[in-house]
Amino acid sequence: MFELEAFNIEKNILNQKPRTQAFILNELGGAINSVFGAFDTERDVSQSTQLDPATQARQNFLFGKVQDYMDTSYNKYGGDRYAGFTPDQLRSFEMARNMEGTGQDQYQNIYDTAQGASQYRPDQLQAKSILGGRALDDYMSPYTNQVINPVMQQMRDQLQMDMNKLDEGTGDSFNNRVALQKGQLQSQALSDMANTRARMMGEAYDRATALKSGDMARAEGADRFNIGTGFQGQQLNLGALNPMMSATGAGRQAGFQDMQAYRDVGNLQQRLNQLGADFDYQQDREQQYYPERQLQMAGNLINSMASGQTTTGTQYGNTLSENMGSGAMIAKAIAVCIPEGTFIDTEDDPVEIGDIEVGDIVIGFTGKPVAVLQAHEYLENPDEERFYQITFDDGTSVDCCDMHRVNGIRAMDYKIGDDINGNLITGIITYKGVRKSYDILTEDGGYQIGNVPVNSMISELAELVTEMNKTMRSENDSTTE
């Protein structure tokens, strides 16, 4: 029997890249198991297996390539995995910050104007007496000075002239009679002057009263006008408030619309940038794992070729294969399933796949309600990076292993930009850390995750197990003949 050291595999498999571990189990598990009998326990029958030279050469060639690939260091992706903010997005952020408080001064002025109008109280009109305010003498003085006083002066001058005439026409013998005439003349003149002055002063008082009344009426009219004007001014201020508010609101709305326009354009640019980053990442991963794909094809080809074997010595069996079946062990290594925590569509709310039981109703592959016929649970190696998250343009995503079929195609064969049942793929990432996976078999052979049809792998896994077990039994039978 060949020992593992004969193939120069010096590295611990568990220390290799997760996908390398998966590849070794996927493509070489059958060959290792059939040739060496992993986890061997000795039986009563003694035998050993010898490969024919051609098959041995092919196996050696494949193991040599595997070792070369295992020795290849992991190339960390050096590009941008996520698109950053675009200039338009940053400008929209700045515009949003600058809009803080915009229009508040105008709104404060509007408030102050409205408050001032509501508190406007004009001076009250007061009833005024003619005896108050400006004195009547102020109105009478001009008339007295310009009319009455000159008239009084003329009367005094006339009296003096008359008195002088009496003095010129008399002698000493008539002195007593002249004196009497002067007295009478003077008395009459003073009486006339008094009457005239009284009459003129009365007229002056009446004129002064009329002038003051006119001034009072005009002052009251001016007060009334000012009050009316004040009310009209407040009304004009209040009338201007609505246009001011509308203009202020329109200015803020225009700024907000500009900000939204920059944001929307920036979001579109970021989405396109993200699509580009995802594409570059996917291309890098494709290049990284290209040798593995080639080895996978070579492994499939070599394992499919007929091999000649001769049997001698002690026979060894595989305890794990006896309990589980060699084909089942290898098939499960090849095909993982749906990671724990994934939700399956139902007629009501989505249900976590680990909570689904046989007999439950889910949305089937074709979009119609179907019954669950089988529900399987598997333990996974959390160090294996074999799980994919495929994201679509509507924000939904599907999580499954690399070999699981989504709408009939394995997850590992999809790329960004592909369309699945009307859903455009915008992102693909791989991850590890899964400890349990699940799968369910339904009446129509599948189910849906976020309205995306996903195939059940149980039937395909069963067929693979059957085929592998047949092959192994056939090989075992040929070695015992």
Does 465 reside within a domain? no
Q: Rounded to whole angstroms, how far apart are CA atoms 197 and 284?
A: 127
Instruction: State whether 245 and 387 are in the same domain.
Output: no
Pick from 456, 460, 449: which is nearest to 367 by CA?
Answer: 449
Is residue 242 within a helix (H) or strand (E), and if so which, with residue range?
Answer: helix 175-288
Q: What is the residue whose two structure tokens read 């989505």?
A: 350
Among 237, 261, 279, which residue terminates a domain? 279
Instruction: State whether 227 and 357 are in the same domain.
Output: no
Predicted pLDDT at 247: 77
- Give the domain CATH number at 447: 2.170.16.10
DSSP conformational letter for 424: E
Predicted pLDDT at 200: 82
User: For the chain, what is the total number of helices (H) and then of strands (E)?
Assistant: 12, 18
DSSP conformational letter for 383: T
Pick from 316, 247, 248: which is nearest to 104 by CA?
Answer: 248
Quote the domain boundaries for residue 189.
88-279
Instruction: State whether 344 and 260 are in the same domain.
Output: no
Does 148 reside within a domain? yes
Predicted pLDDT at 336: 59
Predicted pLDDT at 476: 60
Does 401 reside within a domain? yes
Radius of gyration of the chain (CA): 59
Predicted pLDDT at 364: 97
Q: Rounded to whole angstroms, how far apart are CA atoms 349 and 346?
A: 6
Instruction: State whether 274 and 413 are in the same domain.
Output: no
Total domains present in the chain: 2
DSSP codes of every residue in 118-150 = HT--PPPP----TTSSS-HHHHHHHHIIIIIHH
Whether the CB-CB separation of 367 and 357 falls below 8 Å is answered with no
Pairing of strands 316-318, 361-363: unpaired
Predicted pLDDT at 382: 92
Does 449 reside within a domain? yes
Predicted pLDDT at 477: 63
* Angle at 10 (CA atoms; ends 8, 11), nearest 5 degrees: 140
- pLDDT values of the chain reduced to their tens digit, one per residue, 481 residues: 333 333 333 333 334 444 444 444 444 444 444 433 333 444 444 445 566 777 777 777 777 777 777 777 777 888 888 888 899 989 888 888 887 777 777 777 777 777 766 666 666 666 566 666 777 777 777 777 777 788 788 888 887 887 777 766 555 545 667 677 777 877 887 888 888 877 888 788 888 888 888 888 888 777 777 777 777 777 777 777 777 777 777 877 888 888 888 899 989 999 899 998 889 888 888 887 777 777 776 666 665 554 554 444 433 333 333 434 444 445 455 555 899 999 999 999 999 999 999 999 999 999 999 999 999 999 999 998 999 999 999 999 999 999 999 999 999 999 999 999 889 999 999 999 999 999 999 999 999 999 999 999 998 888 877 776 776 666 566 655 5
Instruction: State whether 131 and 268 are in the same domain.
Output: yes
Predicted pLDDT at 23: 45
Instruction: State whether 93 and 224 are in the same domain.
Output: yes
Instruction: State whether 97 and 224 are in the same domain.
Output: yes
Instruction: State whether 262 and 393 are in the same domain.
Output: no
Whether the CB-CB separation of 116 and 293 falls below 8 Å is answered with no
Instruction: State whether 237 and 142 are in the same domain.
Output: yes
Predicted pLDDT at 97: 85
Give the global pTM: 0.37
Does 198 reside within a domain? yes
Instruction: State whether 178 and 113 are in the same domain.
Output: yes
Does 320 reside within a domain? no
Q: Rounded to whole angstroms, how far apart are CA atoms 409 and 425?
A: 14
Predicted pLDDT at 442: 95
Does 35 reside within a domain? no
Instruction: State whether 239 and 341 are in the same domain.
Output: no
Whether the CB-CB separation of 436 and 387 falls below 8 Å is answered with no
Whether the CB-CB separation of 456 and 439 falls below 8 Å is answered with yes
Does 362 reside within a domain? yes
Pick from 440, 459, 442, 433: which is nearest to 343 by CA?
Answer: 440
Instruction: State whether 264 and 402 are in the same domain.
Output: no
Predicted pLDDT at 321: 38
